[in-house]
Amino acid sequence: MGSFIFEKLSKPVFKFNGYMGYRIKANLQNWLLRAPKANPGMTEMFRLRDRQPKPDLVPWAGEFVGKYLISAIQAIRMIESEELVSLIQQVMADMAGSQAEDGYLGPFTKGERLLGHWDLWGHYHWMLAFMMWHNDTGDKKTLDCVVKAADLVCNIYLNTDKKVLDAGSHEMNMAVIHVLGWIYRETGQERYFQMMQQIEKEWEQAGDYFRQGLDNVEFYKTPLPRWESLHDVQGLVELYQITGDERYKTAFENLWWSIQKYDIHNTGGFTTGEKATGDPYAQGAIETCCTIAWMALSVDMLRLTGDPAVADELELSTWNSMLGSQHPSGRWWTYDTPMNGVRPASAHSIVFQARHGTPELNCCSVNGPRGLGMLSEWAAMTDDNGIVVNYYGPVESIINFGDKQVKLLQETEYPVDGKIKITISPEQTGEFPVRLRIPEWSGNTIFRVNNESTQSAEPRSYAVIEREWKPGDQIELNLDMSLRYEDGKNACEGLVSIYSGPLLMTYDQKFNDFDPDDVSVLKVPQDNIQKIETEALFKPITLLKAEAINNQAVNLCDFASAGAHGTHYRSWLPKS
């Protein structure tokens, strides 16, 4: 069996406050609790699959409910809502009642079941959601539904004259390998692992993820560099976990580092035009689903390696591209969240996916909220015998590991300020390590415990504090929030991105009295940056007053807030 350095929390409980808490609450009130009722076709499509007239669906329609459920299940780890719990149970019961005798639970006709469209892809998402629910609650009915569907996949494709390859849409339909690994580990049924091995072999005629990753081929040069392939690549982690074969781990890590090097934009967003291109400065669409897939891949990478640089990437994506994809009202998500431009709602830009009964549903509207939900999987983790703190911000959490339960409370204005006070309260006094992520960008970091002597910590590391902890012990951490600058290349030659902590600072028409083409050349570095206050319907996380070489004042807000009022924005800025 393959081992991990860090693990997700068992039955996590978080309460996020501050700006992140505001966004999580907005998502709950204005999307998660509204979407199934406003879009009843989300589940009704499964009952209509063999009715007339034949439903007119996009090939990936079956994914919508699974993506919705994944984010909803993650959300109840972070916010108390009996209404949402009840709604999840209702949606799942509705789905279970629509499952065919043979285990099929998709929207396509009997003669098409799992043989084409993106039908295996749709099953992958709801099966993943059901496994998450079973894991969090112990509910056996959801596991039974998943097992029936997994059996159907094997009945059709395992040791028969049919191949998963024949279903087409290879990077989408072959992603089912990922959830099959989890089902195998849960049930021990050998046929699920055999099905995984068969798909792995068929990969050689499709994305070829294992061999390409093992040979250290850059991801954008692989046969299928679309974003959906990342969920196939997660299958490598399952194969490693099941077999302990280090080659799977090596292939996975090589692909992750390649993506990070060549295809992550200044916003933390992934892909250009829905695929890896090898150019993070390219100006094409940065799809929300793509960034969510990158974040899911990165959670696995963090578990595998324990490398704080991976958590840095999750933080970058979370505070910028992901939050930038969600309108601050919580009512809608984007399809494209460009580095420069505007924020059109996905319901407008990919409205071709809408149908009667599902007017608001598209791939991104149901998938974006998973970016918030994934905080429950990486904000805090455990290692062999202690706690790992990856996320900074005002948050309360309960962490269970071994025979211990520890409450953590963070009091801070981060990411606006680098001062963070962490109160650690174990149920019983005990000795264990606490690991604090020190971002690569924090060049001068200091911390102390209970007013003891101050210590320094290296960038891109975990500061390890091992001691006997008692309720009320406190750590004071001070991160270096000095501005930093990233020079552009290719299409962004001569431009610069400016960061304050994890936040990408952005020109927005809303906070300036001049327009995008009139932004003057900025002084780099900035000598006299100032925080300023503003009144707005959607108040930014932070607003900084920068100086241009002609002494023009250029106000810069965080990327997550830019464009929220329907205004134009730019994150690549002219520099001296």
pLDDT digits (tens, 9 = 90+) for 25-48: 999 999 999 999 999 999 999 999
Average pLDDT for residues 391-412, to the nearest whole number? 95
Tokens of 72: 């909803």
Count Cα atoms within 13 angstroms, Cβ side, for 519: 26
385 pLDDT more than 90: no
CA distance 160 to 566: 54
Q: Considering the chain, what percentage of its residues have pLDDT values greater than 70?
A: 100
Beta-ladder partners of 487 = 496
Rg (CA), the chain: 24
What is the average pLDDT value for the chain, to the nearest integer? Answer: 97
CB 560 within 8 A of CB 324: yes
For position 268, what pLDDT does the model report?
98
527 pLDDT more than 90: no
Q: In the 3-class helix/strand/coil scheme, how is 211-225 assigned residue by residue?
A: HHHHCCCCHHHCCCC
Question: Exposed, middle or buried by CB within 10 Å (0-12, 13-18, 19+), for 389?
Answer: buried
Helix (H) or strand (E) holding 500: strand 495-500
For position 435, what pLDDT does the model report?
97
CA 512 and chain centroid, separation? 32
Looking at the domain covering 382-478, what would its CATH class be? mainly beta
Beta-ladder partners of 407 = 398, 425
For position 396, what pLDDT does the model report?
98
Question: Reduced to 3 states, what is the DSSP secondary structure of residue 355?
Answer: strand
Determine the Cα angle at 401 with ends 398 and 405, to 5°: 45
CA distance 24 to 373: 8
Question: Reduced to 3 states, what is the DSSP secondary structure of residue 226?
Answer: strand
For position 232, what pLDDT does the model report?
98
CA distance 445 to 126: 43
CA distance 424 to 404: 12
* Backbone angle region of 443, left / alpha / beta, with phi > 0 → left and psi within -120 to 50 → alpha: alpha
**Smallest Cα–Cα separation from 41: which of 21, 25, 61?**
61
Give the domain ranges of the chain: 13-378, 382-478, 484-574
Rounded to two decimals, the pTM is 0.98
pLDDT digits (tens, 9 = 90+) for 94-133: 999 999 999 999 999 999 999 999 999 999 999 999 999 9
CB atoms within 10 A of CB 419: 13
CA distance 465 to 473: 12
**Under CATH, what is the fold of the domain 13-378?**
Glycosyltransferase (1.50.10)
576 — pLDDT class (breaks 50, 70, 90): confident
Average pLDDT for residues 256-276, to the nearest whole number? 98
pLDDT digits (tens, 9 = 90+) for 209-233: 999 999 999 999 999 999 999 999 9
Interhelix angle 140-157/82-96, nearest 10 degrees: 40
Greatest Cα-to-Cα distance within the chain, rounded to the nearest angstrom = 75
14 pLDDT more than 90: yes
Q: Considering the chain, what percentage of its residues have pLDDT values greater than 90?
A: 97
2 — pLDDT class (breaks 50, 70, 90): confident
475 pLDDT more than 90: yes
